[in-house]
Structure 1
Amino acid sequence: MTVPLRLTDRKRESIVLAAIAEFRDSGFEVTSMDRIAARAEVSKRTVYNHFPSKEELFAEILQRLWVNATDQPDASYKPEVGLREQLREMLKAKMKTLSNSNFIDLARVAIGATIHSPDRAQTWVNRLNQREESFTVWVRGAQQDGRLNEVEPGFAAHQIHALLKAFAFWPQVTLNEPLLTAEKQASVVESALDLFLCCYEVRRTSN
């Protein structure tokens, strides 16, 4: 049974949805808290009660899209499961997020906004990077189990995510290319797995 949202939660949700539409339609600089309030049909004071600044509101939207675009798989390292199988599930979830049109639209807005104010990007980047820390922990677990070669875990996490973003994020954000088809997504994931495991997987030799 679904529990109805409280009035304050409904207002917060209306604000977020209105802000997504405003940022996507008008960009970060033009969008104001007044416009968001009007679109959400709440007072500007209500908007500020939920979000102290436009930057904080935008950061929360990006994080929400990142989290909600797909159910996140269990990213804990499993010694009884093949490396490729574990990695595939994590990368498929990442790919699904990168194929979310709202996320791509707002990422484009965010990048445009940082051109005018590079310092502003730090909060957003920190929020998004938190979603990649689970992969860093997974790499560390696989190394401790002797199944991955020595590499700085954060570097490895950034590297494999970059293999996906080269095809499923940057072309869409910067060149407005279409989102990848399901077949292309699968191909990019498998190629990233090939490169990553070829470089870092410990090869067992039989006697």
Structure 2
Amino acid sequence: MNLALRLTDRKRESIVQAAIAEFRDNGFEVTSMDRIAARAEVSKRTVYNHFPSKEELFSEMLQRLWTRATAQPDASYRPDVPLRDQLRELLGAKMKTLGDSNFIDLARVAIGATIHSPERAQAWVNRLNEREEAFTVWVRSAQQDGRLKAVEPGFAASQIHALLKAFAFWPQVTLNEPLLTAEEQLPVVESALDLFLCWYEIKTAPVKA
């Protein structure tokens, strides 16, 4: 990669970071390309060279949010592993995302910007819902293996994710509460597992000798 290209990439990144900061501090409607350029310490022309409009910048920000949200370990169902162990691994990865300050900042900006645009809000919510599709597939596989009760898989997936978000997403995004520490995350995950498995797991009778 040549020096000019690296410089271009650095400028683009500084513009994106400046946009995120401006959206966070002032909201989507108030933020202007002039303010973004000033914060990034580049010319307005440079901003427009990278992003033709504020909407394009916002789309870039949502893409980053989406990328962070979709980072996850293998979510394949494993018939030879206890359900609780598999779920703990999946929820642990989810909590790692929810404990990322950059992710929370992006989510806060995105939600704030979508308040005045139902269409934009719906598109964002739809993409986050797609993020949980891997867990939905896991639930369906466990059902087919006879280990979870029959229920609409997407409904069950939304339930367990909501149990985490009630403590590790919405308070931070809407009320600016601090991120949960690793110690604080643990009981949230374990209690979510208790509730989910208590209701949905099919208990098999012990085999008599």
Question: Same fold by TM-score, threshold 0.5 exceeded?
Answer: yes
Superposed displacement of residue 53, structure 1: 4.3
Gaps of 5+ in 2: none
Farther-moved stretch of structure 1 (107-116 vs 197-206): 107-116
Q: Which amino acid aligns with 2:120?
A: R
Residues in 1 aligned to 2:56 and 2:132: alpha-carbon distance in whole angstroms = 20
* TM-score of the superposed pair, with normalisation by structure 1: 0.84
Specify the alignment match of 2:117 in structure 1: 117
Farther-moved stretch of structure 1 (31-40 vs 64-73): 64-73
- 1:1-207 map, 5 Å: 6-42=6-42, 44=44, 47-48=47-48, 50-51=50-51, 53-65=53-65, 67-68=67-68, 72-207=72-207
8 Å CA contact 1:59–1:127 kept in 2: the answer is no
8 Å CA contact 1:72–1:93 kept in 2: the answer is yes
Residues in 2 aligned to 1:122 and 1:110: alpha-carbon distance in whole angstroms = 11
Farther-moved stretch of structure 1 (135-144 vs 98-107): 98-107
Residues in 2 aligned to 1:60 and 1:84: alpha-carbon distance in whole angstroms = 37
Farther-moved stretch of structure 1 (182-191 vs 78-87): 78-87
8 Å CA contact 2:69–2:128 kept in 1: the answer is no
Superposed displacement of residue 80, structure 1: 1.9
Deviation track 1:126-180 (CA, whole Å, cap 9, x = no partner) reads 2322321111111112112221111111111111110001111112222222221
Superposed displacement of residue 41, structure 1: 4.3
Q: Is the alpha carbon distance of 1:144 and 1:3 closer, same or farther for their aligned partners in structure 2, counting shifts above 3 Å?
A: farther
Superposed displacement of residue 114, structure 1: 2.8
Q: Is the alpha carbon distance of 1:163 and 1:42 closer, same or farther for their aligned partners in structure 2, counting shifts above 3 Å?
A: same
Q: Which amino acid aligns with 1:22?
A: E
Q: Is the alpha carbon distance of 1:41 and 1:130 closer, same or farther for their aligned partners in structure 2, counting shifts above 3 Å?
A: farther
Residues in 1 aligned to 2:51 and 2:128: alpha-carbon distance in whole angstroms = 18
Q: Is the alpha carbon distance of 1:45 and 1:70 closer, same or farther for their aligned partners in structure 2, counting shifts above 3 Å?
A: same
Superposed displacement of residue 3, structure 1: 11
Superposed displacement of residue 93, structure 1: 1.3
Q: What is the total number of aligned residue pairs between the two structures? A: 206
8 Å CA contact 1:171–1:177 kept in 2: the answer is yes
Superposed displacement of residue 62, structure 1: 3.8
Q: Is the alpha carbon distance of 1:171 and 1:140 closer, same or farther for their aligned partners in structure 2, counting shifts above 3 Å?
A: same
* TM-score of the superposed pair, with normalisation by structure 2: 0.83
| Identity over aligned pairs, percent | 83
CA RMSD of aligned residues (A): 2.8
